[in-house]
Amino acid sequence: AAMQARVETPGGSVANTIAGLGSLGLATAFIGKVKDDALGRFYAQGMESAGTAFPNPPSATAAAPTSRSMIFVSPDGERSMNTYLGAGADLGQGDVAPELFAGGKILFLEGYLFDKDDGKSAFTAAAQSMRAAGGRAGITLSDPFCAARHRSDFQRLVAEEMDFVLGNAAEWTTLYETDDLDAALDQASAVCETVVCTCSGDPVLLRRGNEHVSVPVQKVVPVDATGAGDQFAAGFLYGFATGQTLDVCGRLG
């Protein structure tokens, strides 16, 4: 069967979410790392021209080229991804200066960057800076493999630094080493204020303390599933940032 192919530039999931938030009218910024090469300059300029601030300029000293992902989409709408994290994976604590967070409301972190110690320290520093500035910090678990590789660090981050966490069913059950999704979400919501779980075509599950919400999903056969979770996150975060109820946040997603 014929396949579509596309190439995405760095930032990946969070950049897609930020683009969605910007289209809904919120002021947005992307804190990431690109090399001062043709792709990195193109990406930074593209973000700025689309209305998203790009405070870290392309780096002339980045050791790796700007990241990219090649995505093949099969006729059923599912995709296979070949991703090179490149310079983006080298984001470190020095790239998240505290002044970047002044006036911010929401920090949304990308779990893929947890693969290196520099990324872990950058996440902690960014979350603490955002919360110190009066905002809230959250993360997307990104992938079951990320949750499995860094289980204890992810669990600590969820419990100690995050105000909200988004993940799908496989990511949550992997993170807490259980086949029982409710048990996994119970563990998460016991230590984190707001917990969200997408379940593909099944209802989205949201928890905040004793409040449990299930939001129905209309099943479709996608043309291209790339970025579906990112756009859910954009809708949810728009509601979250504007003070909507948990149910409305889920429905916006």
How many helices (H) and strands (E) in the chain? 9, 11
Please compute the mean of the pLDDT values over residues 129-145 and round it to a whole number.
92
Tell me 67's DSSP state. Answer: P
DSSP annotation string for 85-100: -GGGGG--GGGS-GGG
Render pLDDT for 14-61 as a digit per residue (tens, 0 to 9): 777 877 787 888 889 999 999 999 999 999 999 999 899 999 999 999
Relative to beta strand 28-29, strand 202-208 is unpaired
* SS3 category, 193: coil
Return the pLDDT at 11.
Answer: 54
Question: pTM of this prediction?
Answer: 0.89
Question: Could you tell me which of 148, 82, 93 has the C-alpha nearest to residue 115?
Answer: 148
Quick check: 30 and 110 in contact, CB under 8 A? Answer: no
**Residues 6 or more apart whose Cβ sits within 8 Å of residue 250:** 196, 204, 206, 213, 215, 236, 239
74 pLDDT more than 60: yes
Question: Could you tell me which of 63, 24, 22 has the C-alpha nearest to residue 46?
Answer: 22
> How many other C-beta atoms lie within 10 A of the C-beta of residue 162?
25
Quick check: 78 and 225 in contact, CB under 8 A? Answer: yes
